Amino acid sequence: MPNPVTWFEIMGRDAGALQGFYSELFGWQLQQAGEGMNYGMLSNPDRGIGGGIGEAQGGPGHVTVYAEVDDPQAYLDKAEQLGGKTVVPVTEIPDMVTFALFSDPEGHVVGVVRAQS
Strand ranges for 2-105 from DSSP E: 5-12, 31-34, 37-42, 50-55, 62-69, 85-93, 97-103
Q: What are the pLDDT digits (tens) for 18-70?
A: 999 999 998 899 999 877 788 999 877 778 899 999 999 888 899 999 999 99
Read off the DSSP letter of residue 1.
Answer: -
- Please state the pTM of the whole predicted model: 0.84
Contact (CB, 8 A) for 9 and 51: yes
Domain 70-117 fold is: 2,3-Dihydroxybiphenyl 1,2-Dioxygenase; domain 1 (3.10.180)
pLDDT tens, position by position, 61-108: 999 999 999 999 999 999 999 999 999 999 999 988 999 999 999 899
User: Residue 10 to residues 1, 13, 32, 79, 105: CA-CA distances in angstroms?
Assistant: 24, 11, 14, 23, 22
Residues of the chain with CATH 3.10.180.10: 70-117
